[in-house]
Amino acid sequence: MTALRFDPPTLPPGAEALREEVRRFLADERAKGTWSPRGDFGTHPDTAFSRLVGQQGWIGMTWPRQYGGHERSGLERYVVTEELLVSGAPITAHWIADRQSGPLILRVGTEAQKQRFLPAIARGEIFFCIGMSEPDSGSDLVSIRTKGTKVEGGWRITGRKVWTSNAHICDYAITLVRTGPQEPDRHSGLSQFILDLKAPGVEIRPIRNLAGHHDFNEMILDDVFLADDMLVGQPGDGWKQVTSELAFERSGPERFLSTYRLLAALVDRGGTAPDDRVAEATGRFVAHMWALRGMSLSIAGMLQAGETPNLEAACVKDLGNAFERAIPETARLVAPSAMPVAGANDPFETIQAEAVLNAPSITLRGGTREILRGIIARGLGLR
Amino acid sequence: MSDLVFDTADRLFRDAVDKDLLDRTEAGAFPEALWQAVEETGLVEAFADPDTGVADAAAVLRAAGRHAVPLPIAETLLARRLLQRAGLDIPAGPLALAPTDVNDRSAFAGGRLMGTFYSVGWASRATAIVALADGHVLVVDPARARIEPGRNLAGEPREIVTIDGPPLAAARAPIMPETLRREGAWSRSLLMLGAMETTLEVAATYANDRVQFGRPIGKQQSIQHQLALMAEEVAASAVAARLATERLDGDEAFLAVACAKIRCGEAAGKAAEYAHQVMGAIGFTHEHTLHHLTRRLWSWRDEYGRESDWSIELGQRVALVGANGLWPWLTRA
Ligand SMILES: Cc1cc2nc3c(=O)[nH]c(=O)nc-3n(C[C@H](O)[C@H](O)[C@H](O)COP(=O)(O)OP(=O)(O)OC[C@H]3O[C@@H](n4cnc5c(N)ncnc54)[C@H](O)[C@@H]3O)c2cc1C
């Protein structure tokens, strides 16, 4: 049995000053009317706001300076990330590029790709999304059918991607494509490409979600030509590349803070002398959040030290997602009802409604709870 | 340092505590030889080092929990710490500690302690009862107290102690009653963590060994997922307990200990539930060792305040810092 490890992290000196800097920035910009809190990290993109964040040096924070990065530690990035999330700032547009696409290019991309894409990502000028899922391939990702065929000077790609979040506002999609046979095993033969979403043959169609919002899309790829220099990493290494960054993708504060604003709204609604129901609920949520943050920070520290705590990350996501979903379920039962005020928007009710409607997505995106539990079980030696 | 302490305690307890010892202790015997070994290895002095004491004590408690050690380890550790802080002599042997509950009542006046404490661990086996009353730390001779028998769900002595008379020694209390309650809750969090760790190991091993329908039950997804959930609970508890240990003597001790007791207490109930489900009828027998762990989990989550008690108190503090103050509080702590 593999014991799960959560080493104590050490925040670098200056982390708290950085935290204050982020808080000041958010307060100043909010006072100017640049932004207002809305949604969770996956909704409400605001490309202008993302550019502002880029100007602060808070995108690509850990990347080398020569590629527009700022060579700060992963724990400093953690501090910035959690402050942005808790405030409800609209960071969706640059989220994927900062967390996934940029690090992928940095790790396996060519020198030309690094120079071309990373500085622009870090400035908040270009945005990426992820084209992995397909109509017949969700959890079982290796079964994808979008096909890439080698041609003179590049590849021709044909297929259909679904649930591509924010493809309609992004410039590129890191797209997973089958380019070879499933040999020697079924994980072989997949490759990742940087797909220019304006390229001929790419069609993006909106898919409205149950809340009526347009966040994700369908992407039709009809014989799209991608030059050789749009392949990321080695042909056939796609699966290895996709799975090697899972600890980054599953352990961050976005995996347990999606409904933080509702918790804050519940505290607000409870007043300074809350009844026992509200006090018990908020106290219990704070205890859960405290432990989750401790786990997540610990993983950030281990990642910074060059380790790959994939199992621990799966724990954080599964527990964190359950926590995020419990908040609206409990809040609706314990929140004292407010007196209806004609014409006024009640902030608690608004956030609560949004959280209930968004809840189902939490335990699906980024790996379903069933898949995560399977990973942990394997770590326990059970498969 | 603390790793070494943990290894020492873990080895000692693993070698010495078996099912037979647990059953005999529950039937009323006191494991004298094991206690001697605990004293000789210096484990009861774990708090002594001013720098690493809290972490060392946490290591001892976690190890004690892992092996369901049937001794007043937590009580003795905390009582010794209290005596030391009060500048009083520390008697050898196991010590009992009071109060343990907000319902306990006591008064110290005119050189006389009068009090009733409802759930004192191992009072009848202790060489001294250490009590905190009316701003004083008092050392009481158990022979001069009225002790009514009682046990928690795990069969650990939890006795009703009535005292009316002069203590053997007294000094001004260096801490408030809340601090003692906090330290008690912290000790239970570490004990629960240890017991959950072993419970998970026992259940995971069993799932790989037990064959039904021609294959190990651990191949069944439902069993895998219950064990995964259990591992998550243990992981969250480990981090919550560590955060509390790091802050036990700090400004944010209340926050950190409340979170640990709430989180570990909730996890304890879930871990016990999953473990028993995975282990089937054999785990429900007296013959199997599982219940020595799970009955302790069910007991310890109730001691020094249930999850609900701590949650309400924490929730009230959260209300005072307010929605805008909550995040700054958590990130400062
Ligand atoms: C809001 C949102 C945004 C998303 N954004 C993107 C994006 O930007 N890019 C992208 O590529 N994808 C995106 N996705 C897709 C997401 O990755 C998939 O939804 C997810 O991988 C699950 O696939 P599926 O929806 O096809 O469900 P399925 O895989 O069909 O699963 C359905 C159910 O069966 C369960 N199941 C499947 N296999 C097993 C198994 N072996 N054992 C037990 N249970 C199993 C699942 O856990 C789930 O409960 C997004 C999804 C959502 C909801």
Per-residue DSSP letter, A160:
E
Question: Do A118 and A209 reside in the same domain of the chain?
Answer: no
> What pLDDT is attached to residue A245?
84
Q: What is the pLDDT of residues B155-165, one digit of tens each?
A: 999 999 999 99
Within a domain: residue A308?
yes
* Whether the model pTM is above 0.95: yes
> What pLDDT is attached to residue A340?
64
Within a domain: residue A87?
yes
Question: Do A353 and A271 reside in the same domain of the chain?
Answer: yes
Question: Do A219 and A262 reside in the same domain of the chain?
Answer: no
Judging contacts by C-beta atoms under 8 Å, the chain A residues touching residue B200 are: 1
The mean pLDDT value of chain B amounts to 97
Among residues A189, A205, A238, the one where a domain terminates is: A238
Question: Do A224 and A274 reside in the same domain of the chain?
Answer: no
Write the residue in A283, A318, A374 that is nearest to B313 by C-beta.
A283
The answer to ipTM > 0.95 is yes
Shortest distance, CA B263 to any CA of chain A (angstroms) = 6
Across the range B230-245, mean pLDDT stands at 98
| Residue A339: CATH number of its domain | 1.20.140.10
Across the range A40-65, mean pLDDT stands at 94
| Residue A24: CATH number of its domain | 1.10.540.10
> What pLDDT is attached to residue B248?
98
| Residue A311 token pair | 């199992």
Exposure pattern of A315-348 as b/e (b: 16+ CB <10 Å)? bbbbbbbbbbbbbbebbeebbeeeeeeeeeebeb
Within a domain: residue A111?
yes
B211 and chain A in contact, CB less than 8 A? no
Confidence of residue B41 (pLDDT cuts 50, 70, 90): very high
Within a domain: residue A150?
yes
Judging contacts by C-beta atoms under 8 Å, the chain A residues touching residue B240 are: 287, 290-291, 294
User: Is the beta carbon of A165 within 6 A of some atom in ligand 1?
Assistant: yes
Question: Do A169 and A105 reside in the same domain of the chain?
Answer: no
| Residue A38 pLDDT greater than 70, yes or no | yes
> What pLDDT is attached to residue A42?
76
Instruction: Map residue B198 onto helix, strand or coil.
Output: helix
To which residue do tokens 């498969």 refer?
A383
Question: Do A262 and A369 reside in the same domain of the chain?
Answer: yes
Please name the residue of chain B whose CA is at the shortest distance from the CA of residue A315.
B232
User: Could you tell me the residue range of the domain that residue A349 belongs to?
Assistant: 252-380
Q: What is the pLDDT of residues B286-306, one digit of tens each?
A: 999 999 999 999 999 999 999
Nearest-CA residue for atom 12 of ligand 1: A133
Within a domain: residue A324?
yes
Q: Where are the alpha helices (DSSP H) in chain A?
A: 15-31, 47-55, 74-87, 92-96, 102-108, 111-122, 238-243, 246-250, 260-270, 276-304, 310-334, 347-362, 369-379
Domains and CATH numbers, chain B: 1-71 (no CATH), 93-175 (2.40.110.10), 177-331 (1.20.140.10)
Residue B88, φ and ψ in degrees, nearest 5:
-95, 155
Question: Do A90 and A198 reside in the same domain of the chain?
Answer: no
Q: What is the pLDDT of residues A194-220, one digit of tens each?
A: 999 999 999 999 999 999 999 999 999
Shortest distance, CA B180 to any CA of chain A (angstroms) = 20
Confidence of residue B110 (pLDDT cuts 50, 70, 90): very high
Distance CA A380, CA A374 (A): 10
Instruction: Map residue A337 onto helix, strand or coil.
Output: coil
Among residues A126, A155, A170, the one where a domain terminates is: A126
User: Count of domains in chain A?
Assistant: 3
Shortest distance, CA B230 to any CA of chain A (angstroms) = 10
Across the range B243-251, mean pLDDT stands at 98
Judging contacts by C-beta atoms under 8 Å, the chain A residues touching residue B235 are: 4, 6, 295, 312, 315, 319
Within a domain: residue A141?
yes
Residue B93, Cβ neighbours under 10 Å: how many? 15
B241 and chain A in contact, CB less than 8 A? no
Q: What is the pLDDT of residues A246-282, one digit of tens each?
A: 889 999 999 999 999 999 999 999 999 999 999 999 9
Question: Do A188 and A156 reside in the same domain of the chain?
Answer: yes
| Residue A12 token pair | 């670098």
Q: Supply angle C-alpha B169, B173, B177, rounded to 5.
A: 120
CA A69 from chain centre, in angstroms, equals: 19
Write the residue in B201, B208, B231 that is nearest to A315 by C-beta.
B231
Within a domain: residue A154?
yes
Across the range A209-237, mean pLDDT stands at 97
Question: Do A301 and A343 reside in the same domain of the chain?
Answer: yes
Q: Supply angle C-alpha A23, A24, A27, rounded to 5.
A: 85
Question: Do A99 and A178 reside in the same domain of the chain?
Answer: no
Contact A280 B243 (CB under 8 A): no
Please name the residue of chain B whose CA is at the shortest distance from the CA of residue A267.
B323
Contact A4 B318 (CB under 8 A): no
Across the range B39-61, mean pLDDT stands at 96
Write the residue in A283, A294, A377 that is nearest to B228 by C-beta.
A377
Q: What is the pLDDT of residues A337-371, one digit of tens each?
A: 876 666 667 889 999 999 999 999 999 999 999 99
Contact B315 A283 (CB under 8 A): yes
Beta bridge partners of A194: A174
Question: Do A156 and A114 reside in the same domain of the chain?
Answer: no
B168 and chain A in contact, CB less than 8 A? no
Among residues A76, A95, A126, the one where a domain terminates is: A126
> What pLDDT is attached to residue A139?
96
> What pLDDT is attached to residue A341?
64
User: Is the beta carbon of A143 within 6 A of some atom in ligand 1?
Assistant: no
Q: How far is CA A104 from CA A248, A258, B152, in A?
A: 11, 25, 55
Judging contacts by C-beta atoms under 8 Å, the chain A residues touching residue B221 are: 370, 374
Q: What is the pLDDT of residues B202-217, one digit of tens each?
A: 999 999 999 999 999 9
Confidence of residue A98 (pLDDT cuts 50, 70, 90): very high
> What pLDDT is attached to residue A43?
81
Within a domain: residue A243?
no
Judging contacts by C-beta atoms under 8 Å, the chain A residues touching residue B239 are: 6, 291, 294-295, 298
Percentage of residues in chain A having pLDDT higher than 90:
92
| Residue A148 token pair | 């890439």
Do the Cβ atoms of B73 and B60 come closer than 8 Å?
yes
Lowest mean pLDDT among A36-40, A142-146, A338-342: A338-342
Contact A382 B218 (CB under 8 A): yes
A94 or A342, higher pLDDT: A94
Question: Do A259 and A363 reside in the same domain of the chain?
Answer: yes
